[in-house]
Every structure is written in structure tokens, then in C-alpha cells.
Amino acid sequence: MSTSSNLSPPPIPDDVEKLLNDLPKVRVWDAKDIYQWEGFWFPPAFVKSTITLRSRFQARDDDIFLASTIKTGTTWLKALSHSLSLHHAPPVDIYDASAPRLLHTHLPYVVLSNSIKNSASKIVYITRNTKDTLISMWQFFNSLYRPNQDPFPIEKAFDWFCSGVHQFGPFFEHVVEYWQESQKWPQKILFMKYEELKSDPKGQVSKIAEFLGRPFADENEVDAVLWRCSLGRLKNLEVNKSGNILNDVPNKSLFRKGEVGDWKNYLTPEMEEQINQICRIKLEHFGLFL
Ligand code: A3P
């Protein structure tokens, strides 16, 4: 991968509001409007900030980007990566230009700035079994927008998910783009699966550490990081019981069961077959099995 940015950034449209007005718009979860732009569905603030990001953001060669679509293990990956940096370096000052920056994005690969793509910065992407992602997403939006009410009809959530109409969707294209790039540039993008982190946490977290150039000295360090980032521990921290990540997103909504295969409790055999069929066409065709 080239380390120089020789492509000129796309121009910022004079009137981003006008652009938004011209984009296809859908209301999801009976609560939020999302807009289709560059082949994906975004909350409006993300269209605006991504346009700015694409033309202005300058990645540094030692930046570390964590990337994911929603509900695929982002919070776990963030905690692990943060713990790794803390474990191997003195406390980092975010404003220190010499410090490696740890950043996260839900943006699809296609809209990342050339500066990110062409720098020597690294990307760790995490994804998850398709059906578990759908159920986790449905439960998450139920908890945000329907507290103490009946959940959204699962059939409706299923249709949105399968047709890709949800925040940062389509899931399938989001995952495949990063998958293909990671195959082309394995030194640049590490592609992780939630299930592998669950089944082999030591092996997988060591892989992240090596990829980021911070290999563990011994097994005790691995154990310490895994314990610090365990679901049980994070869920019970006071800040995660009462704090908010965004205005309308309480931290506690990010921690639920963390199980593999929870979808079996909610999807019918017909839904399972339908989604498997989409996976065969959209993922397995590219050698990706989720
Ligand atoms: P479930 O809804 O299946 O329980 P994201 O962080 O991308 O929003 O993903 C949320 C999912 O990751 C939720 O899955 C959540 O329970 C799980 N999760 C959050 N923190 C975790 C951790 N430390 N270890 C394992 N799973 C975690």
C-alpha cells in the first residue's frame, strides 16, 4: 500500500443540507431518519462529518483505527485495544502529537479518507455472525427506543437488516469491503471475528497485540488484559451502569449477553434459511464465512 496521498480529496459540496435533501431517506425503528449515500445508510450527522473528514482529515502513520459496523463487538475491541496501549506505554496524552492515536469508526471502507487508506496507519476491523449481529441490533434499538414497551416486530427488523436499511448498513457490503481490503493488505488491515475472540481470546488478543507492534511479554499480561476487558467486569463498572456514550445512548445498552448463537432464540427456520442464502451470495462467494 502506498504511503503517499496522491489522490486529491473530493470537494466539499457548497450546500451539504441540500445534498441531504436530495438523498433517499428512510425512518427506521420508528424513531430515526437515515440517509442513503455512497451506497450505505447513515444518520444525517455522519453524512456531514464524513464529507468533512474525507477532505480534511490527515491520518498519521502511527494512527490505529478500529472499525466495525454496529453490534459486532466494537466495545470489546475498543476496550482491548485501549488496554493494550495502556499496558505497554505510559499513560498517553491525546493531544501529544507524538503519541499513537487510537480512533474508532463505523464508516464503511469506501468513504474513508484517502489519507487513512494511503498512510501507514493500521486498521483493526471486527465483525460477527450475521444472525447474531441482527439480534444484537434489534435488542439494542429496542432498549433505546422502546424501553418498557413491546419490542419492534422482529419481522420488520429482519426485513430492514436483509435489505441493508439500517444505520451503517448494508452489513454485508460493509463487511465484504474490509474483508477484501484485508486480503489485499494484511499488514494494513487485521480482520477479526467476534466468535474467534470468544473461542480463543488469548490467541486472538495476542494477534491484535502483535499486529499493533505491542507483543505481550508473557501470559500474565494477556490474562490481565482479558480480565480488564471482560463483559462481566465492564458491565458492572459504575460508569457503565449510569453513564452515557451519546445523548441518547446509555453505556449500559452496549453490554448485554455477549453470547454466540443467541439468534436461535428469536429467528424462525425460514428466517434462518433466508439469511443464510444472502450470506452465501454476499459473503461466502468472497470466501468469508460468518
Ligand atoms: P449482544 O447484544 O449479543 O449481547 P457493539 O459493541 O459493536 O455495540 O456490540 C455489542 C455486542 O457486544 C453485544 O452483544 C454486547 O453484549 C457484546 N459485548 C460488549 N462488551 C463485550 C465484552 N467486553 N466482551 C464480550 N462481548 C461484549
Task: Give the global pTM.
Answer: 0.92
Q: In the chain, helix, strand, coil percent, each to 5?
A: 50, 15, 35
pLDDT in tens, 35-88: 999 999 999 999 988 988 888 889 999 999 999 999 999 999 999 999 986 544
Q: What is the pLDDT of residues 107-165, one digit of tens each?
A: 999 999 999 999 999 999 999 999 999 999 999 999 999 988 999 999 999 999 999 99
CA atoms within 13 A on the CB side of 199: 8
Residue nearest to atom 2 of ligand 1 (CA): 136
d(CA 202, CA 205) in angstroms, rounded, equals 5
Whether CATH 3.40.50.300 fits 16-286: yes
Cite the active site residues.
106
d(CA 255, ligand 1 centre) in Å: 5
The residues lining ligand 1, judged by C-beta closer than 6 Å to any ligand atom, are 68, 70-76, 79, 132, 136, 139, 229-231, 234, 254-258, 262
The domain ranges of the chain are 16-286
Helices and strands (H, E) in the chain, number of each type: 13, 9
